[in-house]
């Protein structure tokens, strides 16, 4: 099923015509209503009339996370405060939080985009959605909630945490769709396993997971443990929460709702716009947002854009799984890599779980990577000699993947901290002073 055939199956020509018309409108509005953009465009010598074709978008200056922080809290609103009916914010753990405000129309559009995502995962108005994303300033909980309501599905607003209760409701209410971060889904799956509940004894059919990086290997693990199809969903506080893009049943990239968001991929260094299928940094412009229009936002998410028609029938452009962020790429001993590369290597080895932590230290001015990996209970009961061999095998596999030597410590099952939100995968204790 497709939630909005008109929008999701429009021809590329029609779509581009629509995008250009909406872009002209939003760029003009941003320039006229938000002093930040007036100043930014003037400074860059960009005039609203310069935007005549989609290619001209590259003439518009970028907006960065720092710009959004400087505008804290309401400096980028394009409407009077009283027209804003919902506010979300980043946690601010790494600096001033970024705030986003939504008008009534913005929330309707968010609901529409999230409803498209739920339907892509096989959901319908009959679905019972166990929404285990956090409710609050974080966009996850409310975003899925808006989508479920637009769709007319039943939403079970669990929020994150209280795992015992999550499992009880999952069994008693017969939830058929689970929405949360992939690491929390894994925790729920393990908890079910521990209770002796088999995948066929629960009603889950699909999972919609996002808000953190995960891998294909983790997808397989979640699908097997929960008896579901696991779908990736994409969103970000600065633009809109979950629903900006999501995977259909083909799971060959996330359909981006490109009648509401204009996507570009740029080279993060040269800032040049890259072609279809080339990996780079995703840049997004909101096409229809009233409360806080965002022009050419540099997401720092690394992905590629595809515009060919998907076998599911949708023509919306797709973005590949986000494999890293330009800013959480790790640089150790001069080598750049993403934590997700380590996860992929780990999960290719039998008996390992997706529970791991990367510790980077710098004793005596040399970087050292230690990766703590949980073994499965079956493996852990084996002899210690077997574990030594396994550590060597893992170290070898990772060295082949990222090109540098790492130390592996196998740890007991369930000894690494569990997360009810985003998992902490990297602990970098190097002192850069
Ligand atoms: Zn598709």
Cα angle 361, 367, 371; round to 5: 60
Distance 260 CA to ligand 1 centre (A): 17
- The alpha carbon of residue 199 and the mean position of all alpha carbons in its chain are separated, in whole angstroms, by 26
**Is this prediction's pTM over 0.85?**
no
- Report the C-alpha gap between 419 and 184 in whole angstroms: 6
CB-based contacts of 426: which residues, under 8 Å, 6+ apart? 328, 330, 339, 357, 358, 360
Higher pLDDT, 86 or 325: 86
Instruction: Dump pLDDT digits (tens) for 305-350.
Output: 999 999 999 999 999 999 877 877 788 877 878 888 888 899 888 8
The pLDDT value recorded for residue 93 is 66
- How sure is the predictor about 292, in pLDDT bands with cuts at 50, 70 and 90? very high
In the chain, what are the helix, strand and coil shares in percent, each to the nearest 5?
35, 25, 40
The pLDDT value recorded for residue 213 is 80
Does the pLDDT value for residue 199 go beyond 90?
yes
For 161-170, 176-185, 324-333, 342-351, which range has the lowest pLDDT when averaged over its residues? 324-333
Q: What percent of the chain has pLDDT over 70?
A: 97
The pLDDT value recorded for residue 384 is 64
- How sure is the predictor about 150, in pLDDT bands with cuts at 50, 70 and 90? very high
Distance 119 CA to ligand 1 centre (A): 11
The pLDDT value recorded for residue 41 is 98
- The alpha carbon of residue 313 and the mean position of all alpha carbons in its chain are separated, in whole angstroms, by 24
The pLDDT value recorded for residue 351 is 79
* Stretch 266-287: mean pLDDT: 95
Cα angle 97, 98, 101; round to 5: 130
Distance 245 CA to ligand 1 centre (A): 11
Q: What percent of the chain has pLDDT over 90?
A: 75
The pLDDT value recorded for residue 423 is 76
Distance 310 CA to ligand 1 centre (A): 5
Does the pLDDT value for residue 126 go beyond 60?
yes
Q: List, as one string, the DSSP characters of 74-114.
A: TTT-SS-GGG--EEEE---TTSS--EEEE-HHHHHHHHHHH
The pLDDT value recorded for residue 92 is 75
Which backbone phi and psi does 387 adopt, to 5 degrees? -70, -40
Cα→Cα distances 93→89, 132, 204, Å = 11, 22, 33
Distance 208 CA to ligand 1 centre (A): 15
Does the pLDDT value for residue 431 go beyond 80?
no
Does the pLDDT value for residue 428 go beyond 60?
yes
Distance 313 CA to ligand 1 centre (A): 6
- Which residues pair with residue 145 across a beta bridge? none
Distance 71 CA to ligand 1 centre (A): 37
Distance 318 CA to ligand 1 centre (A): 8
Distance 242 CA to ligand 1 centre (A): 17
* Stretch 46-50: mean pLDDT: 98
Distance 294 CA to ligand 1 centre (A): 26
Distance 61 CA to ligand 1 centre (A): 32
Instruction: Dump pLDDT digits (tens) for 369-418.
Output: 999 998 877 776 656 667 888 899 999 999 998 888 999 999 888 888 87
| 215 torsion bin: left (phi>0), alpha (psi -120 to 50), beta (else) | beta
Distance 255 CA to ligand 1 centre (A): 7
* Stretch 50-77: mean pLDDT: 96
For 97-106, 291-300, 318-327, 380-389, which range has the lowest pLDDT when averaged over its residues? 380-389
Distance 202 CA to ligand 1 centre (A): 27
Distance 326 CA to ligand 1 centre (A): 27
Distance 306 CA to ligand 1 centre (A): 11
- Give the DSSP letter of residue 261: E
The pLDDT value recorded for residue 263 is 98
Distance 218 CA to ligand 1 centre (A): 21
Distance 63 CA to ligand 1 centre (A): 30
- How sure is the predictor about 110, in pLDDT bands with cuts at 50, 70 and 90? very high
Does the pLDDT value for residue 74 go beyond 60?
yes
Does the pLDDT value for residue 29 go beyond 80?
yes
The pLDDT value recorded for residue 385 is 67
Distance 212 CA to ligand 1 centre (A): 22
Buried b (16+ CB within 10 A) or exposed e, 131-150: bbbbbebbbbbbbbbbbbeb
Distance 248 CA to ligand 1 centre (A): 5
Distance 409 CA to ligand 1 centre (A): 40
- How does the average pLDDT of the chain come out, rounded? 93
Distance 251 CA to ligand 1 centre (A): 7
Does the pLDDT value for residue 353 go beyond 90?
no
Does the pLDDT value for residue 219 go beyond 90?
yes
């Amino acid at each position: 099923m497709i939630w909005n055939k008109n929008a999701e199956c429009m021809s590329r020509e029609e779509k581009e015509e629509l995008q250009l018309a909406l872009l002209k409108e939003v760029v003009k509005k941003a320039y006229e209503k938000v002093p930040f953009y007036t100043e930014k465009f003037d400074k860059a010598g960009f005039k609203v009339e310069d935007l005549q074709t989609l290619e001209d978008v590259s003439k518009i200056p970028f907006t960065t996370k720092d710009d959004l922080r400087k505008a804290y809290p309401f400096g980028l609103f394009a409407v009077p405060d009283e027209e804003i009916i919902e506010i979300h914010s980043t946690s601010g753990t790494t600096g001033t939080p970024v705030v986003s405000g939504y008008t009534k129309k913005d929330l309707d559009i968010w609901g529409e985009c999230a409803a498209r995502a739920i339907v892509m995962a096989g959901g319908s108005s009959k679905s019972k959605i166990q929404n285990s994303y956090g409710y609050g300033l974080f966009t996850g909980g409310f975003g899925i909630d808006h989508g479920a309501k637009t769709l007319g599905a039943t939403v079970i607003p669990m929020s994150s945490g209280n795992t015992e209760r999550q499992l009880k409701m999952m069994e008693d209410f017969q939830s058929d769709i689970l929405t949360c971060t992939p690491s929390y889904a894994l925790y729920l799956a393990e908890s079910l396993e521990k209770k002796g509940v088999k995948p066929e004894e629960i009603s889950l059919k699909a999972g919609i997971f996002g808000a953190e990086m995960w891998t294909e290997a983790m997808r397989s693990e979640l699908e097997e443990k929960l008896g579901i199809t696991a779908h990736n969903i994409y969103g970000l506080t600065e633009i809109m929460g979950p629903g900006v893009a999501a995977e259909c049943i083909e799971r060959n990239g996330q359909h981006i709702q490109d009648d509401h968001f204009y996507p570009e991929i740029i080279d993060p260094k040269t800032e040049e716009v890259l072609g279809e299928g080339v990996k780079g940094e995703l840049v997004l412009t909101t096409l229809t947002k009233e409360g806080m229009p965002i022009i050419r936002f540099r997401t720092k998410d690394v992905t590629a854009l595809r515009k060919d028609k998907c076998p599911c029938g949708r023509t919306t452009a797709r973005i590949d799984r986000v494999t890293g962020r330009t800013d959480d790429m790790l640089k150790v001993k001069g080598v750049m890599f993403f934590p997700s590369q380590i996860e992929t290597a780990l999960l290719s080895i039998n008996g390992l779980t997706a529970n791991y932590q990367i510790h980077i230290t710098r004793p005596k001015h040399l970087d050292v990577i230690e990766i703590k990996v949980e073994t499965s209970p079956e493996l852990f009961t084996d002899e210690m000699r077997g574990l030594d061999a396994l550590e060597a095998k893992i170290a070898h596999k990772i060295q082949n993947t990222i090109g540098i030597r790492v130390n592996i410590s196998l740890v007991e099952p369930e000894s690494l901290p569990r997360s009810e939100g985003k998992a902490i995968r990297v602990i970098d204790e190097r002192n850069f002073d």
